[in-house]
């Protein structure tokens, strides 16, 4: 997949949703300056519109949330990058954006502003193929990532010794509604 394919398939919907206010992403999509510039280099008109959104008060609050949950953000980033596709062009920005999206309260695909969950699954399949294959029971992505952190001995509470015994099993699997 080329960088242009990645931008069209994954990044364009995220950027358009960001402009519309439909993501939980902080300023610059949660990216550092250099990766943000590299990502938006080919979309100059779109970048101008994106840049106008960065100072919005809600975006600043989202940046404060990310700062307050910095350790959690870093653990998510490390998990994602540990399983990164070496052939992907924009894997580090993908990890950063997904980690920021995990700090939201809705389904991850909604918090990123993607049009549907299958697009997020394709994103995982491309950028983080080991994690994609490990999610063989189609667990919701945010829950899956936190379960991975829990199993690594993180500070996250696992609700049951196995999913089959968990009282909230039905919340983790199955169709997500819009």
Give residue 160's pLDDT: 42
Reported pTM: 0.87
DSSP class of 161: S
CB atoms within 10 A of CB 88: 18
**Residue holding tokens 């959104």?**
53
Give residue 166's pLDDT: 57
How confident is the model over 110-145, as pLDDT tens digits? 999 999 999 999 999 999 999 999 999 999 999 999
Q: Is 138 left (phi over 0), alpha (psi -120 to 50) or beta?
A: left
How confident is the model over 44-66, as pLDDT tens digits? 768 778 877 777 888 888 889 88
Whole-angstrom CA distances from 82 to 3, 78, 91 are: 21, 6, 11
Domain spans, the chain: 3-172
């Amino acid at each position: 997949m080329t960088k242009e394919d990645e931008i069209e398939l994954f990044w364009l919907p995220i950027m358009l949703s960001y402009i519309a206010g439909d993501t939980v992403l902080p300023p610059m999509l949660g990216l550092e300056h250099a990766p943000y510039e590299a990502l938006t280099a080919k979309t100059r008109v779109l970048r101008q519109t994106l840049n106008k959104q960065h100072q919005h008060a809600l975006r600043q609050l989202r940046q404060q949330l990310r700062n307050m949950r910095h350790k959690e953000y870093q653990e998510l980033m490390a998990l994602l990058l540990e399983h990164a596709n070496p052939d992907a062009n924009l894997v580090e920005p993908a990890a950063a954006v997904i980690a920021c999206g995990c700090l939201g309260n809705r389904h991850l695909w909604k918090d990123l502003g993607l049009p549907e969950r299958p697009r997020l699954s394709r994103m995982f399949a491309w950028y983080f193929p080991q994690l994609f294959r490990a999610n063989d029971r189609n667990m919701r992505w945010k829950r899956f990532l936190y379960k991975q952190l829990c199993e690594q001995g993180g500070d996250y509470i696992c609700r049951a010794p196995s999913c089959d015994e968990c009282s909230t099993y039905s919340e983790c699997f199955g169709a997500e509604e819009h």
